[in-house]
Amino acid sequence: MGISGIELCRRFYAGVVGPQLTVPHSAALIGRGSEVLGFDDAMSADHNCEARVVLFVEDASWTPPEVPGEFLGRATLLEVQTLSGFFTEQLGFDPSAGLRVEDWFTLPEQSLRMLTAGEVFHDDLGLQAVRDRLAYYPDDVWRYLLISAWWRVHPELNLAGRAGYVGDELGSALIGAQLVEDLMRLCFLMERQYAPYSKWFGTAFARLTCGPELEPILHTVLRADGWQDREKALMAAYEAVAGVHNRLGITAPVELGIEQMWGRPFKVVWGDFPGALSAAITDPTVRAIADRWPVGGIDRLRTVLWKPADRRTIATFFS
């Protein structure tokens, strides 16, 4: 592969762009691209993997310097932005003045990861301060999203068995696979990391602190031959993720039990994680939302309605 995309862009700024600038500016590799996330490889260079700098200036009409069309064998790209214009384009608003609770619920995790990853090469204008505001969710917003994520798991756990019981092994496997993703998303939240989009979701999960422990357990769910084996694997996966929660001390330790809903022959592990998390919420705005809508699915909503223009639509759910 040679040098990484981020190293290429760092050298492009230091050797070509930066020396020509005499105005206050900030410069970074930020936004779209596998190289921003640090996941680029040799295949990534086949498209949109330029020697690139996003250059922030105070005056949008400022004329940028000329740069060569190629640097170290790659095409070059110099994007000129203002801080306000860039973040408004990316998020639908300028977060430099702060974010409301409602704002956080409208922002897809993959967008937040791309805006807080990468690297700032130079910063006269306060780019890093804006990135710091976006670094991670406020504590009570985070707790609410954890509640939402647990409620994505709890109601579905018995359904893998229920589908398999009537001979629908394909449906049971599909439910099991969705539960694996939901448990993985819980882990991203618990370790306070934004989850990337699907191409790099598993790669990023493997780099979580809990990733090496949980990967083989989750693989067992996906490889199960029948619903009974899948049920056992899901119980083990739930217990493992519950163990991560308890070890991190996010709440007081939550005890686990095994339930058979309505006396049916499907076993599910249960711990009252939503209750423990809800008890710790003190922000009145988050408290009101949690009392009105303590359910899962918010991340799906943000993923489907991902465009900045969709923020108003999403915000109506929390007003």
pLDDT in tens, 116-169: 999 999 999 999 999 999 999 999 999 999 999 999 898 888 999 999 999 999
What would the two tokens of residue 216 be? 């083989």
pLDDT value of position 297: 54
Between these two residues, 204 and 37, which has the higher pLDDT value?
A: 204
pLDDT value of position 316: 67
The C-alpha atoms of residue 86 and residue 28 are separated, in whole angstroms, by 12
Element (H, E) at 143: helix 139-153
Instruction: Tell me the pLDDT tens digit for each residue of 215-242.
Output: 999 999 999 999 999 999 999 999 999 9
| CB neighbourhood size of 162 (10 A) | 17
List, in sequence order, every residue forming a beta bridge with 81; answer none if it has no partner.
56
For residues 287-311, give the mean pLDDT: 70
HEC string for 237-297: HHHHHHHHHHHHCCCCCCCCEEECHHHCCCCEEECCHHHHHHHCCCCHHHHHHHHHCCCCC
pLDDT value of position 302: 64
The C-alpha atoms of residue 37 and residue 227 are separated, in whole angstroms, by 37
Helix 139-153 and helix 169-190, axial crossing angle in degrees, nearest 10? 160
Q: Which residue shows structure tokens 């022959």? A: 265
Listed residue (88, 158, 68) closest to 308, CA to CA: 88
Global pTM reads 0.89
Listed residue (263, 296, 179, 259) closest to 227, CA to CA: 179
